[in-house]
Amino acid sequence: MFNGIFHIPKPENEPVLSYEPGSRERAELKARLNDMLANPVEVPCIIGGREVTTGDLVEMRAPHNHTQVLGRYHRAGPREAEMAIDAANQAKGEWSEVEWSSRATVLLKAAELLSGKYRQILNAATMLCMSKSVHQAEIDSACELIDFWRFNPYFMTQVYDDQPISVKGVLNYMEHRPLEGFVFAISPFNFTSIAGNLPTAPALMGNAVVWKPSSLAVLPAYYIMQILKEAGMPDGVINMVPGPGPVIGPPVLNHIDLGGVHFTGSTYVFSTIWLTIGSDIRKYADYPRIVGETGGKDFIFAHASADIDALVTAIVRGGFEYQGQKCSAPSRIYIPDSIWPRVKEQLLDEVATIKMGDVCDFRNFMNAVIDGESFKKISEYIEFAREDPNLEILCGGNCDQSEGYFIEPTVVQTKDPHSRLMCEEIFGPVVTIFVYPEKQYEETLELCDGTSPYALTGAIFAQDRFAIIKALKALRHSAGNFYINDKPTGAVVGQQPFGGSRASGTNDKAGSWLNLERWISPRSIKENFLPPTNYRYKFMEKE
Ligand code: NAD
């Protein structure tokens, strides 16, 4: 037993390295990229700390170059899912008894390892496997994941610090127990930081986890497991089973010991998971906690007083970085007619300068979309835009999958504010613009609020303070992360806790104490120093 009350200092965000020509980090990263391309790996399932092979091998290829085989992974099935649940249940007992300080130090050490010797390994894996540029990988697989691992232990102490009041003769306290069952973490393809956070946030709070990474991002997941092992995460606390969602999902979701689901991904899959759990809710030992951050149809809304340079930069960076495959990427833009001619000219000029290609060529601003399925879906939206008389493709629109899954940055103008392109999540580099009459600012704010079922991120660009105030009010429930004169992507842990409502999720704010609270089941304890010794109350006494 450790005797001592110590405090985790408030962390600072990990600095973003520049990778400018001649820098040390650039040379290290290039070496790692070459090394990974030359040495494909074989990734096992990791269950109870053991490497489990299934022989059902799936190739991992770079989305921007079909000829680059990064390795193969052993696809898990229902058997491995069962093994992972058993391993989690076994590890749970001891792990949940470990003091919070020891659990915190595992993640704090993982953060140091990632900030140092693993930084370029995880960046290179993210770049090659998910087709991210160096900057996009650095802010994701390095900085954001390091921040999650440094800030969450700090937030945990805030959660534990929350204690009830006591009165004379009585001491009240709250024990922030982990959940009784195991947690099922299910991560998406597009962020290594989310992949690393989904299993570790519940584990930090004393839970054991079955983790199903995205089949499209198994390579970075494998290195995350290596970092956690080296940091001292005990065997069985996090069990990695890479495999198809519809195969791994049902046996885990239907298990009586399911304590919670920590999901990030599409709205459709999340609602399927919720339906599976809800369809037979009586079978569980406990009501499972369901946390899901899901899709978005994020907006940028410009007022006539907007700074046009800032607005155009936000559209280009927000809409096209990582090929628009961020849940937070703005893909519907509202521009007043008075400034549209200038915005249009500047936007099309800027987009024309964007370079797209292999991640190893650092001059490229954009790379490929994740896979053939995604390529097909995005191309179909572009085809729809070509054919619909309400829509006009202003630039881009070409798609080419001969070498990799490349889709040009595409700007579409719509006459119909309710077009499919203004309502549905495309998850690709397609930005649709609706030009509104300047005088109808307030009506168009209302239109923006009511257009799409999602409510994840959004931004207002205006210099006029009254316009900002009106937007804040009209769009109050339209976005869980709202930006004023900034692009709506790039939330930073500890600065902009992330999550949205409506069809965008349960809004449990990853990277804050709000999320950690979902992984505990508090026990209130009352200790009476002077318990009553007679059942009779004073009012019962004889007059
Ligand atoms: P996806 O929904 O296709 O997959 C997410 C995960 O769910 C994957 O691991 C997948 O294998 C798994 N899955 C699929 N079917 C399942 C089932 N029946 N049971 C259990 N698991 C199942 O999402 P994606 O394509 O990987 O990621 C893109 C989506 O994620 C977009 O919609 C994006 O907006 C969203 N996203 C949201 C946030 C956020 O914070 N709100 C962050 C990143 C991504």
45 Cα to the center of ligand 1, angstroms: 20
Q: Residue 30: how many CB atoms within 10 A of its CB?
A: 16
Domains (range + CATH), the chain: 24-294+505-522 (3.40.605.10), 298-484 (3.40.309.10)
Q: Give the single-character DSSP code of 141.
A: I
229 Cα to the center of ligand 1, angstroms: 26
Q: Give the single-character DSSP code of 510.
A: B
CB-CB contact of 89 with 257 (8 Å): yes
- DSSP secondary structure string for all residues of 4-17: ----PPPP-PPPPP
Asked if residue 425 has its Cβ within 6 Å of ligand 1, the reply is yes
CB-CB contact of 463 with 305 (8 Å): yes
CB-CB contact of 228 with 140 (8 Å): no
Asked if residue 506 has its Cβ within 6 Å of ligand 1, the reply is no
What phi and psi, each to the nearest 5 degrees, are found at residue 392?
Answer: -135, 125
Q: What is the four-CA torsion angle of 30, 31, 32, 38, rounded to 10 degrees?
A: 110
Asked if residue 497 has its Cβ within 6 Å of ligand 1, the reply is no
Give residue 6's pLDDT band: very low, low, confident or very high (50, 70, 90): confident
Q: Using CA positions, which residue lies closest to atom 37 of ligand 1? A: 294
Q: Give the single-character DSSP code of 213.
A: -
Catalytic residue among 80, 293, 408, 425: 293
Task: Assess whether 293 carries a catalytic annotation.
Answer: yes
- DSSP secondary structure string for all residues of 353-380: T--B--TTSTT-SB---S-HHHHHHHHH
CB-CB contact of 431 with 397 (8 Å): no
The per-residue pLDDT of the chain, averaged, comes to: 98
Mean per-residue pLDDT, 368-388: 98
Q: Using CA positions, which residue lies closest to atom 32 of ligand 1? A: 266
330-377 residue pLDDT tens: 999 999 999 999 999 999 999 999 999 999 999 999 999 999 999 999
Q: Using CA positions, which residue lies closest to atom 14 of ligand 1? A: 245
Q: Which of 269, 492, 501 to mutate to test the pocket of ligand 1 (most atoms within 8 A of CB)?
A: 269
287-296 residue pLDDT tens: 999 999 999 9
* pLDDT at residue 283 tops 90: yes
Q: Which segments within 294-448 are labelled E, that is strand?
A: 298-302, 330-336, 391-395, 399-400, 406-407, 410-414, 430-436
Q: Using CA positions, which residue lies closest to atom 43 of ligand 1? A: 327
pTM (2 d.p.) = 0.98
